[in-house]
């Protein structure tokens, strides 16, 4: 028995699926496999793809499978182990994911949503190690969050805690997909930056020369990533867009600091790769928006896109009573 405690981690993402094997207590993957979900995917095809990835891993690395941890990119009923729905893929409504995987693998399974698994991953293995309380936030196409309180994932009464993306910071702001005005998400996520840039570029023909060039003079091609790159190349217009979004994010974080005073806030997701000026403005705005007695330690995620997968490892460890907390 070369692998006495083999753990399987699964990450059902919106556009790609990942399966990885780890040994309990180790912090490198034994192996991992990833595959993009094709257009027209549904819950059944997602499951077939993921089971294929996992079986491939287990065949290549035989050994007793101790437990399975799962991160799912959508709302999950953690207690019951059921997916509530996917915002991207049809067919996941009230889906008994834990039960199906337990039957399939003959091992205990734990399932949580990707914000909570990423928070748990960063807490156990990444930038949140040793924190009694932390807020993990992902800032990319949306703004999501997950809490660790007293060393454990805190899910809330309806398992909905962490929805910082839909806290309102400016009731005069633009309308969000959630129906409210001026949420953090609609002011600070990547698509929000791109939309704001397009709006302004349409009415300011002289502005944003670098950004226009990067986008091939096609406003539809403007993305948050291009805005960040143009800003780093000195495009004042793009820097303005970037820092405005950073300021809004910081305002939302400031409210979370006042309300919960976590030891650390950890930011992950594509938008956090927007450069030092973005980070400085997020930190400045967060401090400005909370009380001076409240420390505001805001740090980048350490595990990157692997945070949910490492959180899945932590879920699997916890099933075995191997938590290091």
Closest to a copy of itself by CB, 49 vs 251, is: 251
Closest to a copy of itself by CB, 289 vs 317, is: 289
Closest to a copy of itself by CB, 168 vs 302, is: 168
Cβ of residue 261: shortest distance to a copy of itself, in angstroms? Answer: 3
Cβ of residue 217: shortest distance to a copy of itself, in angstroms? Answer: 35
Cβ of residue 82: shortest distance to a copy of itself, in angstroms? Answer: 14
Q: How far apart are CA 61 and CA 63, in angstroms?
A: 6
Task: Quickly list DSSP for 272-305.
Answer: GGS-HHHHHHHHHHHHHTS-TTS---EEE-SSGG
Virtual CA dihedral for 39, 44, 49, 50, nearest 10 degrees? 120
Residue 198's nearest CA partner among 223, 219, 179, 228 is: 219
Cβ of residue 15: shortest distance to a copy of itself, in angstroms? Answer: 24
Cβ of residue 158: shortest distance to a copy of itself, in angstroms? Answer: 6
Contact residues: a copy of itself, CB under 8 A: 75, 132-133, 145, 147, 149-150, 152, 154-164, 166-172, 178, 180, 251, 254-256, 258-264, 288-291, 293-295
Cβ of residue 244: shortest distance to a copy of itself, in angstroms? Answer: 13
Fill in the DSSP letter of residue 39.
T
**Strands, E assignment, the chain:** 6-12, 16-23, 31-36, 65-72, 76-77, 82-83, 109-113, 133-139, 143-149, 152-154, 264-268, 298-300
Cβ of residue 291: shortest distance to a copy of itself, in angstroms? Answer: 6
Cβ of residue 240: shortest distance to a copy of itself, in angstroms? Answer: 18
Diameter of the chain by CA atoms? 68
Residue 139's nearest CA partner among 225, 66, 65, 81 is: 225
Closest to a copy of itself by CB, 140 vs 263, is: 263
Closest to a copy of itself by CB, 260 vs 299, is: 260
Closest to a copy of itself by CB, 8 vs 134, is: 134
Closest to a copy of itself by CB, 169 vs 319, is: 169
Token pair for 296:
């505001």
Contact indicator for 153, 112 with CB cutoff of 8 Å: yes
Contact indicator for 29, 11 with CB cutoff of 8 Å: no
Closest to a copy of itself by CB, 92 vs 310, is: 92
Contact indicator for 91, 42 with CB cutoff of 8 Å: yes
End-to-end, the C-alpha distance of the chain in Å comes to 27
């Amino acid at each position: 028995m070369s692998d006495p405690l083999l753990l399987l981690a699964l990450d059902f993402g919106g556009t790609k699926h990942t399966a990885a094997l780890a040994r309990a207590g180790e912090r490198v993957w034994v192996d991992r496999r990833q595959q993009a979900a094709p257009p027209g995917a549904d819950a059944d095809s997602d499951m077939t793809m993921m089971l294929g990835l996992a079986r491939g891993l287990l065949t290549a690395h035989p050994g007793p499978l101790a437990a399975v941890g799962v991160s799912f990119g959508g709302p999950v009923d953690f207690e019951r182990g059921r997916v509530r729905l996917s915002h991207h893929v049809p067919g996941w409504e009230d889906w008994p994911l834990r039960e199906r995987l337990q039957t399939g693998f003959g091992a205990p399974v734990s399932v949580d949503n990707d914000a909570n698994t990423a928070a748990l991953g960063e807490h156990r293995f990444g930038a949140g190690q040793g924190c009694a309380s932390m807020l993990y936030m992902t800032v990319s196409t949306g703004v999501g969050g997950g809490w660790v309180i007293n060393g454990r994932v805190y899910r809330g009464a309806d398992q909905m805690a962490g929805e910082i993306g839909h806290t309102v910071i400016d009731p005069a702001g633009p309308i969000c997909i959630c129906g409210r005005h001026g949420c953090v998400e609609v002011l600070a996520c990547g698509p929000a930056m791109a939309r704001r840039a397009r709006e302004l570029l349409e009415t300011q023909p002289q502005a944003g020369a670098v950004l226009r060039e990067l986008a091939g003079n096609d406003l539809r091609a403007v993305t948050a990533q291009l805005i960040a790159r143009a800003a780093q190349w000195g495009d004042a217009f793009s820097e303005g867009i970037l820092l405005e979004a950073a300021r809004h994010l910081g305002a939302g974080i400031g409210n979370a600091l006042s309300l919960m005073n976590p030891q650390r806030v950890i930011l992950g997701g594509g938008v956090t790769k927007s450069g030092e000026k973005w980070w400085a403005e997020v930190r400045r705005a967060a401090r400005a928006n909370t009380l001076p007695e409240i420390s505001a330690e805001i740090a980048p995620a350490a595990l990157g896109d692997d945070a949910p997968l490492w959180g899945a490892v932590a879920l699997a460890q916890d099933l075995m009573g191997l938590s290091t907390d």
